[in-house]
Amino acid sequence: MRAPLARGAQTRLWSASPVPRAEVRAAHKESDGARKALPTVPWTSRRRHAVGARADRGSGDAFVSTRTAPRPVRGPSGGASRSRRRVVILALVVLVALAVVGWLAARQIRSPAQIAADAAPPKPAVITVPVERRRLATTVIVRGTVRYGGRRRVELGSSQVKQGSDIVTSAPRRRARFDAGSVAMTVDERPVFVMPGATPMHRDIKQGARGPDVGQLEVFLAGAGFNPGPVDGVFDSAAQAAVAAFYASKGYEAFGPTDVQLEQLRVAQADAALARDAHLQAVNAVAQAQQPATPGDLEQARIEAAASLDALHTAQLAVPTAQNRLETARAAAANAAGLGAATASATAQREQAVADADVVAKRNAVALAQEEERVAIADRNALPLDAVAAERDRADNAVRAAREAVVRAQADLDAAIGVAETLRATGPLAVQQAQVDAANFTREAQLAEAELRRAELGVRVARRHVELTRLRVRALERPVDTRTLEAIVGAAADEARRTRNIVRDLTAAAGVQVPANEILFLPDLPVRVDEVRTPRGSTVGGPVMTVTSSSLIIDSSLGVSDAKLVQVGDRVLIEEQDLGLRTRGRVAEVERTPGTRKVDPNRFYFSVIPSNAAGAVVGASVKLTIAVTSTDSRVLAVPVSAVSVGGDGSSRVQVRRGGRTVLVRVVPGLAAQGYVQVRPARGQRLRAGELVVVGAQDGGAGQGAGP
């Protein structure tokens, strides 16, 4: 068995002498078996063995150390295999690196043709849209504020037949809604009705009155179911009956004749009776004249003449009495109207000031009495403990007297406060009473004036009666001549007829009347109360309230350029996104002067009436879109970019037909909203739905078509 060779010796043998490969393999196997059978050699022994081997390399002879076990010698086949694998892997890496370098070089190096092809643009694709049939409109967009329209101040008419204090007994309520026939308020417990009409109530409507105000009243009565007779603008008996029925349906009594009218009627009836008697006497005188006169008849005629003369004197004395009464009544009425209310107010203020001053004085007295009580108590408490009984009694009496003084001062203060409060409560009543007294004095003056007219009329009638009786006496004393008596009969008949007509007219006028301050004619009903100007208890004077119509109005303004475009009647789209409002309306008014209606000095006010909107939007700011110019109907329209101008100046569009682009000449119209109205030129054809070219698409980016 061959001894194993050292590693160095094995290497030299492998490289120095040609040994057959089979022998080498066999030696390798033997060395492997021997290595397994040998014990493990320590690391230090192996190191010394390796050193010894290196020392003998130069001799070229193999040796074996007898002190350490040699390491087994590996055969040459294992190292060659590993070398071949390394070579193959290295070659593959080199090939891959060369391939990558070649690919990168090919990416960087391009031919001129390839560069030109890459730089050339892609083939463009046209962009088309269909021809539409639509309505076009040029718009102006602004914002406006919604409010109630028809704002107006309401005043009551002045009545000549209705006398009173004109005190508001029930005032209108703010935000109340008044329809035709509603009771807006009451004055002196009399109603004020709201009725439709453009002509305001400016006079009292009496029997026989004519005019548009009467026509408005009749139209309302007929519409409310109360038959006023023919609606002819004449206030006749049928209209009076309808007014009375309407008042009764509302729980009120129609206004009848006044005291003055009744007095005038009584005077006229008395005058008519005297005229009738005079006519009968004249007729009787003619009949008596035609008969022979007797001494008794002559004496009777003389007695009647004397009695009529006495009646004339009595009537003449009644005239200055009536004049004095009239002057007194007028002076009292003027004084009451001019100074009564003012005097009552001044007196009430003066008495109130005196009462308030008395209250202040009484309060000071209470404070002084309380201070004296505190001083008395302090004096009593300051007495020494060994003070005599008399001093303590005087101190107790002083405290007792001070307390009684406080009680009396407090009672006086309470009484003064009561008087002041009473005056404060009765002061306005005194002013109202003064106003009522003024109205009563005015009524008395009117009655005194009527009495004076009656006295003057009585003088005229008595004078005529005297003339008749004297004529009768002369007729009885002379031969019968009835021509004068017959003339007197004719004059008496005329007087009786005239007085009968006066009685008839006054009787008609004393029927149902409509005072001027019991009806409010308003043009737009229903209305709502926006402001109350006469609270309950106040006196009517000037506007009583401010009302608005229930219709809505939108206030806005326009710039100088837009104001030239917007016209009354233009259609308006009204929108408010937050409120969900979308409705339409029309322009109602456009101011042609800038700065009016509280808008900026460089803007023009205009208003819009919406066709349908709820009251909840009042005060909201809404968007207004006004169509200032529009086509009347749906027309052919294309985008503005689809229209181009040819070399001859004509407009044209490019239409895609059968995969080709065809030029169609058109006549453009209104342009709005990005579209333009087109009409095929003569000999050309264009229909809705056809595709027109609006541009070309290049790499995903659109380009507008040129002309």
For the stretch 374-397, pLDDT in tens is: 988 888 888 888 888 888 888 888
User: d(Cα 208, Cα 218) in Å, to the nearest integer?
Assistant: 13
Q: Locate 264 and state its tokens.
A: 């005038």
Q: Are strands 190-196 and 519-522 parallel, antiparallel or unpaired?
A: parallel
pLDDT at 667: 94
Q: What angle do CA 262, 266, 272 make, to 5 degrees?
A: 140
Single-letter amino acid code for the residue at 569: G
Residue with tokens 């007294």: 437
CA atoms within 13 A on the CB side of 686: 28
Instruction: Give the range among 71-75, 260-264, 276-280, 583-587 with minimum mean pLDDT.
Output: 71-75
- Do residues 642 and 679 lie in contact, with contact meaning Cβ atoms separated by under 8 Å? no
Name the residue among 329, 287, 620 with its Cα closest to residue 451: 329
SS3 538: coil
pLDDT at 139: 85
Q: Kindly tell me the sign of the dihedral angle through the C-alpha atoms of 216, 217, 218, 222.
A: positive
Q: What is the mean pLDDT of residues 240-250?
A: 93
Phi/psi of residue 619, each to 5°?
A: 90, -10
Assigned architecture for domain 635-704: Beta Barrel (2.40)
Q: What is the mean pLDDT of residues 305-331?
A: 83
The string of pLDDT tens digits covering residues 104-122 is: 776 666 667 666 766 766 6
The string of pLDDT tens digits covering residues 29-53 is: 555 554 444 444 444 444 444 444 4
Beta-sheet strands, E only, within 91-209: 125-130, 132-134, 137-148, 152-155, 168-170, 177-178, 183-187, 190-196
- Do residues 195 and 220 lie in contact, with contact meaning Cβ atoms separated by under 8 Å? yes
User: If one looks up domain 291-479 in CATH, what number appears?
Assistant: 1.10.287
Residues near 382 by beta carbon (within 8 Å), at least 6 away in sequence: none
User: d(Cα 110, Cα 124) in Å, to the nearest integer?
Assistant: 26
Name the residue among 44, 41, 42 with its Cα closest to residue 4: 41
Instruction: Give the range among 80-84, 125-129, 175-179, 208-212 with minimum mean pLDDT.
Output: 80-84
Q: What is the mean pLDDT of residues 56-76?
A: 45
Name the strands in the sheet holding 543-549, side by side, starting at the edge strand that comes first in the sequence: 152-155, 543-549, 527-532, 177-178
pLDDT at 346: 73
Single-letter amino acid code for the residue at 97: A
Whether pTM > 0.85 for this model: the answer is: no
Residue count of the chain, please give it.
707
Please provide the distance, in angstroms rounded to a whole number, between the alpha carbons at the two ends of the chain.
109
The string of pLDDT tens digits covering residues 427-436 is: 666 667 777 7
The string of pLDDT tens digits covering residues 458-478 is: 888 888 888 888 877 777 676
User: If one looks up domain 551-630 in CATH, what number appears?
Assistant: 2.40.30.170
Q: What is the mean pLDDT of residues 637-642?
A: 93
Instruction: Give the range among 421-425, 477-481, 524-528 with minimum mean pLDDT.
Output: 477-481
How many of the other CB atoms lie within 10 Å of CB of 220?
Answer: 22
User: d(Cα 421, Cα 50) in Å, to the nearest integer?
Assistant: 140
Name the residue among 20, 71, 21 with its Cα closest to residue 43: 71
